[in-house]
Amino acid sequence: MLPDKVEKLCQRAVQAIAERDWEKAKQMYLMALGQRGDLPDVHYGLATVYFQLRELTSAAHHFREATRLDPQRAGAFVNLGAVLNLMAQYDEALTVLRKAIQLDPQRVEGFYNLGLVYRRRGQGDLAISAYKEALRLNPRMADAHLNLGNLYMEKGQPRQALVHYEEALKVRTGWDKAMDGLEAARDAIESDSQGGLAEQKAGSSAMNQPVARAAAAADADRVVDPVIHATFLTSLHQATVVSEEAGRLLGAIVGGEIEPVIQELSRALLHSHGSRGELDACLTKFETALGRMKAAHQTLKSSVARLEEIGERFPEK
Protein backbone atom coordinates (compact mmCIF):
# COMPACT_ATOMS: atom_id res chain seq x y z
CA MET A 1 0.00 0.00 0.00
CA LEU A 2 1.34 3.48 -0.91
CA PRO A 3 2.08 6.07 1.82
CA ASP A 4 -0.70 8.69 2.04
CA LYS A 5 1.33 11.58 0.60
CA VAL A 6 2.69 9.48 -2.27
CA GLU A 7 -0.75 8.03 -2.96
CA LYS A 8 -2.29 11.52 -3.23
CA LEU A 9 0.45 12.64 -5.63
CA CYS A 10 -0.11 9.53 -7.77
CA GLN A 11 -3.86 10.16 -7.80
CA ARG A 12 -3.26 13.71 -9.01
CA ALA A 13 -0.90 12.33 -11.68
CA VAL A 14 -3.55 9.87 -12.86
CA GLN A 15 -6.12 12.67 -13.05
CA ALA A 16 -3.68 14.77 -15.09
CA ILE A 17 -3.17 11.82 -17.45
CA ALA A 18 -6.94 11.55 -17.90
CA GLU A 19 -6.90 15.22 -18.87
CA ARG A 20 -3.87 14.58 -21.13
CA ASP A 21 -1.86 17.10 -19.16
CA TRP A 22 1.39 15.19 -19.45
CA GLU A 23 3.62 17.87 -17.96
CA LYS A 24 1.52 18.11 -14.81
CA ALA A 25 1.45 14.32 -14.54
CA LYS A 26 5.23 14.25 -14.85
CA GLN A 27 5.64 16.80 -12.05
CA MET A 28 3.30 14.84 -9.76
CA TYR A 29 5.18 11.59 -10.33
CA LEU A 30 8.55 13.32 -9.85
CA MET A 31 7.34 14.70 -6.53
CA ALA A 32 6.15 11.20 -5.55
CA LEU A 33 9.51 9.82 -6.60
CA GLY A 34 11.19 12.39 -4.34
CA GLN A 35 9.21 10.97 -1.43
CA ARG A 36 9.81 7.29 -2.25
CA GLY A 37 12.25 6.16 -4.92
CA ASP A 38 11.72 2.46 -4.29
CA LEU A 39 8.12 2.12 -5.48
CA PRO A 40 7.70 0.33 -8.83
CA ASP A 41 4.26 1.89 -9.42
CA VAL A 42 5.73 5.39 -9.32
CA HIS A 43 8.50 4.49 -11.78
CA TYR A 44 5.98 2.75 -14.05
CA GLY A 45 3.62 5.75 -14.07
CA LEU A 46 6.46 8.20 -14.68
CA ALA A 47 7.83 6.02 -17.50
CA THR A 48 4.39 6.00 -19.14
CA VAL A 49 4.24 9.80 -19.02
CA TYR A 50 7.76 10.14 -20.43
CA PHE A 51 6.74 7.84 -23.27
CA GLN A 52 3.76 10.06 -24.10
CA LEU A 53 6.12 13.06 -24.09
CA ARG A 54 8.44 11.12 -26.43
CA GLU A 55 11.27 11.41 -23.91
CA LEU A 56 12.30 7.85 -24.69
CA THR A 57 15.59 7.71 -22.78
CA SER A 58 13.84 8.72 -19.55
CA ALA A 59 10.94 6.36 -20.28
CA ALA A 60 13.35 3.44 -20.77
CA HIS A 61 15.18 4.29 -17.52
CA HIS A 62 12.04 4.27 -15.40
CA PHE A 63 10.60 1.14 -17.04
CA ARG A 64 13.92 -0.53 -16.21
CA GLU A 65 13.57 0.62 -12.62
CA ALA A 66 10.03 -0.77 -12.51
CA THR A 67 11.29 -4.17 -13.71
CA ARG A 68 14.19 -4.09 -11.27
CA LEU A 69 11.94 -3.33 -8.31
CA ASP A 70 9.20 -5.71 -9.47
CA PRO A 71 10.84 -8.50 -11.56
CA GLN A 72 7.48 -10.27 -12.08
CA ARG A 73 5.76 -7.28 -13.73
CA ALA A 74 5.29 -8.48 -17.29
CA GLY A 75 3.67 -5.24 -18.46
CA ALA A 76 6.76 -3.23 -17.52
CA PHE A 77 8.94 -5.58 -19.58
CA VAL A 78 6.56 -5.27 -22.56
CA ASN A 79 6.60 -1.48 -22.42
CA LEU A 80 10.37 -1.37 -21.96
CA GLY A 81 10.72 -3.57 -25.04
CA ALA A 82 8.46 -1.24 -27.04
CA VAL A 83 10.53 1.81 -26.03
CA LEU A 84 13.83 0.07 -26.79
CA ASN A 85 12.46 -0.86 -30.22
CA LEU A 86 11.73 2.81 -30.94
CA MET A 87 15.27 3.64 -29.79
CA ALA A 88 16.63 1.03 -32.28
CA GLN A 89 18.12 -1.00 -29.42
CA TYR A 90 16.85 -4.20 -30.94
CA ASP A 91 18.98 -6.80 -29.16
CA GLU A 92 18.01 -5.58 -25.70
CA ALA A 93 14.40 -5.18 -26.86
CA LEU A 94 14.31 -8.86 -27.87
CA THR A 95 15.74 -9.96 -24.52
CA VAL A 96 13.24 -7.85 -22.60
CA LEU A 97 10.23 -8.96 -24.63
CA ARG A 98 11.18 -12.61 -24.33
CA LYS A 99 11.29 -12.13 -20.58
CA ALA A 100 7.82 -10.56 -20.70
CA ILE A 101 6.46 -13.55 -22.62
CA GLN A 102 8.05 -15.99 -20.18
CA LEU A 103 6.35 -14.14 -17.33
CA ASP A 104 2.99 -14.01 -19.12
CA PRO A 105 2.63 -16.25 -22.23
CA GLN A 106 -0.95 -15.00 -22.69
CA ARG A 107 -0.01 -11.31 -23.00
CA VAL A 108 -0.81 -10.46 -26.61
CA GLU A 109 1.17 -7.19 -26.51
CA GLY A 110 4.36 -9.15 -25.84
CA PHE A 111 4.08 -11.10 -29.10
CA TYR A 112 2.90 -8.04 -31.04
CA ASN A 113 5.91 -5.98 -29.95
CA LEU A 114 8.17 -8.93 -30.63
CA GLY A 115 6.85 -8.87 -34.20
CA LEU A 116 7.66 -5.15 -34.45
CA VAL A 117 11.25 -5.77 -33.35
CA TYR A 118 11.78 -8.68 -35.71
CA ARG A 119 10.47 -6.64 -38.61
CA ARG A 120 12.81 -3.76 -37.73
CA ARG A 121 15.67 -6.29 -37.75
CA GLY A 122 14.65 -7.54 -41.18
CA GLN A 123 13.60 -10.95 -39.86
CA GLY A 124 10.28 -11.14 -41.65
CA ASP A 125 9.59 -14.83 -41.03
CA LEU A 126 10.00 -14.49 -37.28
CA ALA A 127 7.88 -11.34 -37.34
CA ILE A 128 5.10 -13.30 -39.09
CA SER A 129 5.28 -16.05 -36.44
CA ALA A 130 5.08 -13.46 -33.66
CA TYR A 131 2.08 -11.67 -35.20
CA LYS A 132 0.31 -15.00 -35.72
CA GLU A 133 0.79 -15.84 -32.07
CA ALA A 134 -0.61 -12.43 -31.14
CA LEU A 135 -3.65 -13.12 -33.34
CA ARG A 136 -4.11 -16.55 -31.81
CA LEU A 137 -4.48 -14.78 -28.47
CA ASN A 138 -6.57 -11.94 -29.90
CA PRO A 139 -7.99 -12.62 -33.41
CA ARG A 140 -9.41 -9.07 -33.54
CA MET A 141 -6.10 -7.24 -33.23
CA ALA A 142 -6.33 -5.00 -36.28
CA ASP A 143 -2.74 -3.76 -36.13
CA ALA A 144 -1.39 -7.31 -36.17
CA HIS A 145 -3.56 -8.13 -39.21
CA LEU A 146 -2.31 -5.01 -40.99
CA ASN A 147 1.34 -5.77 -40.25
CA LEU A 148 0.90 -9.38 -41.37
CA GLY A 149 -0.68 -8.16 -44.59
CA ASN A 150 2.26 -5.83 -45.21
CA LEU A 151 4.78 -8.59 -44.53
CA TYR A 152 3.04 -10.99 -46.91
CA MET A 153 3.06 -8.29 -49.58
CA GLU A 154 6.79 -7.85 -49.07
CA LYS A 155 7.19 -11.61 -49.50
CA GLY A 156 5.22 -11.56 -52.76
CA GLN A 157 2.22 -13.42 -51.29
CA PRO A 158 -0.71 -11.09 -52.02
CA ARG A 159 -3.42 -13.71 -51.47
CA GLN A 160 -2.32 -14.23 -47.86
CA ALA A 161 -2.00 -10.46 -47.48
CA LEU A 162 -5.54 -9.98 -48.79
CA VAL A 163 -6.98 -12.14 -46.01
CA HIS A 164 -5.36 -10.08 -43.27
CA TYR A 165 -6.27 -6.71 -44.79
CA GLU A 166 -9.88 -7.87 -44.93
CA GLU A 167 -9.72 -9.02 -41.29
CA ALA A 168 -8.26 -5.67 -40.25
CA LEU A 169 -11.14 -3.86 -41.95
CA LYS A 170 -13.68 -6.07 -40.20
CA VAL A 171 -12.34 -4.79 -36.90
CA ARG A 172 -11.62 -1.20 -37.96
CA THR A 173 -14.03 -0.21 -40.72
CA GLY A 174 -12.75 2.31 -43.24
CA TRP A 175 -9.14 2.18 -42.02
CA ASP A 176 -7.13 3.93 -44.72
CA LYS A 177 -3.96 1.86 -44.30
CA ALA A 178 -5.86 -1.41 -44.54
CA MET A 179 -7.91 -0.19 -47.52
CA ASP A 180 -4.73 0.85 -49.35
CA GLY A 181 -3.18 -2.54 -48.60
CA LEU A 182 -6.31 -4.34 -49.77
CA GLU A 183 -6.27 -2.48 -53.06
CA ALA A 184 -2.57 -3.21 -53.58
CA ALA A 185 -3.12 -6.92 -52.83
CA ARG A 186 -6.00 -7.14 -55.31
CA ASP A 187 -3.91 -5.43 -57.99
CA ALA A 188 -1.05 -7.86 -57.38
CA ILE A 189 -3.37 -10.88 -57.52
CA GLU A 190 -4.90 -9.66 -60.77
CA SER A 191 -1.45 -9.05 -62.22
CA ASP A 192 -0.33 -12.55 -61.20
CA SER A 193 -3.45 -14.08 -62.76
CA GLN A 194 -2.89 -12.29 -66.06
CA GLY A 195 0.72 -13.38 -66.06
CA GLY A 196 -0.30 -16.99 -65.46
CA LEU A 197 -2.78 -16.90 -68.36
CA ALA A 198 -0.12 -15.47 -70.65
CA GLU A 199 2.23 -18.32 -69.78
CA GLN A 200 -0.48 -20.89 -70.44
CA LYS A 201 -1.22 -19.41 -73.84
CA ALA A 202 2.47 -19.47 -74.63
CA GLY A 203 2.47 -23.22 -73.91
CA SER A 204 4.56 -23.17 -70.74
CA SER A 205 4.18 -26.81 -69.69
CA ALA A 206 6.49 -26.52 -66.66
CA MET A 207 4.71 -23.57 -65.06
CA ASN A 208 4.21 -25.23 -61.68
CA GLN A 209 7.17 -27.62 -61.77
CA PRO A 210 9.35 -25.76 -59.22
CA VAL A 211 6.64 -25.62 -56.54
CA ALA A 212 7.62 -28.81 -54.69
CA ARG A 213 11.33 -27.91 -54.76
CA ALA A 214 10.55 -24.39 -53.53
CA ALA A 215 8.44 -25.75 -50.68
CA ALA A 216 11.26 -28.12 -49.69
CA ALA A 217 13.74 -25.26 -49.74
CA ALA A 218 11.38 -23.18 -47.61
CA ASP A 219 11.22 -25.97 -45.04
CA ALA A 220 15.01 -26.21 -45.03
CA ASP A 221 15.21 -22.51 -44.26
CA ARG A 222 12.49 -22.58 -41.60
CA VAL A 223 13.29 -20.10 -38.85
CA VAL A 224 12.32 -21.07 -35.33
CA ASP A 225 12.34 -18.76 -32.36
CA PRO A 226 12.58 -20.55 -28.99
CA VAL A 227 10.22 -18.08 -27.31
CA ILE A 228 7.55 -17.76 -30.01
CA HIS A 229 7.39 -21.50 -30.55
CA ALA A 230 7.88 -22.53 -26.92
CA THR A 231 4.13 -22.32 -26.26
CA PHE A 232 3.40 -24.35 -29.39
CA LEU A 233 5.99 -27.02 -28.59
CA THR A 234 4.85 -27.30 -24.97
CA SER A 235 1.21 -27.71 -26.06
CA LEU A 236 2.23 -30.31 -28.64
CA HIS A 237 4.23 -32.29 -26.08
CA GLN A 238 1.45 -32.18 -23.50
CA ALA A 239 -1.16 -33.29 -26.04
CA THR A 240 1.12 -36.12 -27.19
CA VAL A 241 1.61 -37.33 -23.61
CA VAL A 242 -2.15 -37.25 -22.97
CA SER A 243 -2.81 -39.18 -26.20
CA GLU A 244 -0.17 -41.76 -25.35
CA GLU A 245 -1.56 -42.24 -21.84
CA ALA A 246 -5.12 -42.51 -23.17
CA GLY A 247 -4.00 -45.15 -25.69
CA ARG A 248 -2.23 -47.15 -23.02
CA LEU A 249 -5.25 -46.97 -20.72
CA LEU A 250 -7.55 -48.15 -23.50
CA GLY A 251 -5.23 -51.07 -24.27
CA ALA A 252 -4.99 -51.96 -20.59
CA ILE A 253 -8.78 -51.98 -20.21
CA VAL A 254 -9.27 -54.14 -23.31
CA GLY A 255 -6.54 -56.62 -22.31
CA GLY A 256 -6.92 -56.55 -18.55
CA GLU A 257 -10.68 -56.15 -18.08
CA ILE A 258 -12.72 -56.74 -21.25
CA GLU A 259 -11.05 -59.99 -22.34
CA PRO A 260 -11.09 -61.67 -18.89
CA VAL A 261 -14.73 -60.74 -18.23
CA ILE A 262 -15.73 -62.06 -21.69
CA GLN A 263 -14.02 -65.36 -20.88
CA GLU A 264 -15.78 -65.44 -17.52
CA LEU A 265 -19.10 -64.65 -19.18
CA SER A 266 -18.54 -67.40 -21.74
CA ARG A 267 -17.95 -69.97 -19.05
CA ALA A 268 -21.11 -68.90 -17.23
CA LEU A 269 -23.16 -69.24 -20.42
CA LEU A 270 -21.66 -72.49 -21.65
CA HIS A 271 -21.84 -74.45 -18.44
CA SER A 272 -25.38 -75.30 -17.47
CA HIS A 273 -24.52 -75.57 -13.78
CA GLY A 274 -23.81 -71.82 -13.65
CA SER A 275 -26.33 -70.06 -11.47
CA ARG A 276 -28.41 -67.05 -12.57
CA GLY A 277 -26.71 -65.01 -9.90
CA GLU A 278 -23.28 -65.84 -11.36
CA LEU A 279 -24.44 -64.86 -14.84
CA ASP A 280 -25.85 -61.54 -13.59
CA ALA A 281 -22.57 -60.81 -11.81
CA CYS A 282 -20.64 -61.47 -15.04
CA LEU A 283 -22.96 -59.21 -17.00
CA THR A 284 -22.50 -56.43 -14.45
CA LYS A 285 -18.71 -56.77 -14.70
CA PHE A 286 -18.93 -56.70 -18.49
CA GLU A 287 -21.09 -53.56 -18.54
CA THR A 288 -18.74 -51.83 -16.09
CA ALA A 289 -15.66 -52.74 -18.14
CA LEU A 290 -17.42 -51.70 -21.34
CA GLY A 291 -18.28 -48.33 -19.81
CA ARG A 292 -14.63 -47.79 -18.82
CA MET A 293 -13.53 -48.75 -22.32
CA LYS A 294 -15.94 -46.24 -23.88
CA ALA A 295 -14.74 -43.48 -21.55
CA ALA A 296 -11.08 -44.25 -22.36
CA HIS A 297 -11.89 -44.30 -26.07
CA GLN A 298 -13.58 -40.90 -25.81
CA THR A 299 -10.55 -39.50 -23.99
CA LEU A 300 -8.31 -40.83 -26.75
CA LYS A 301 -10.53 -39.28 -29.44
CA SER A 302 -10.48 -35.92 -27.66
CA SER A 303 -6.70 -35.97 -27.26
CA VAL A 304 -6.20 -36.87 -30.93
CA ALA A 305 -8.52 -34.02 -31.91
CA ARG A 306 -6.41 -31.71 -29.74
CA LEU A 307 -3.27 -32.91 -31.54
CA GLU A 308 -4.89 -32.20 -34.88
CA GLU A 309 -5.88 -28.73 -33.71
CA ILE A 310 -2.32 -27.97 -32.62
CA GLY A 311 -1.00 -29.41 -35.88
CA GLU A 312 -3.02 -26.84 -37.82
CA ARG A 313 -1.04 -24.14 -36.00
CA PHE A 314 2.31 -25.68 -36.92
CA PRO A 315 4.77 -22.76 -37.20
CA GLU A 316 5.11 -21.67 -40.79
CA LYS A 317 8.29 -20.53 -42.45
pLDDT tens column, 73-105:
999 999 999 999 999 999 999 999 999 999 999
Report yes or no: 170 and 141 within 8 Å, Cβ to Cβ: no
Q: What pLDDT, on a 0 to 100 scale, did the predictor assign at position 201?
A: 52
pLDDT, one tens digit per residue, over 238-250 is 667 677 777 777 7
pLDDT of residue 180: 96
What's the predicted TM-score (pTM) here? 0.63
Amino acid at 137: L
What pLDDT, on a 0 to 100 scale, did the predictor assign at position 199?
53
The pLDDT assigned to 12 comes to: 96
Among 124, 142, 132, CA closest to 182: 142
What is residue 303's predicted lDDT score, i.e. its pLDDT? 74
Binned average pLDDT, 10 residues per bin, the chain of 317 residues? 83 95 96 93 96 95 96 96 96 96 95 96 94 96 96 95 96 96 94 64 46 38 52 60 73 78 71 64 80 80 74 55
- Give pLDDT, residue 170: 96
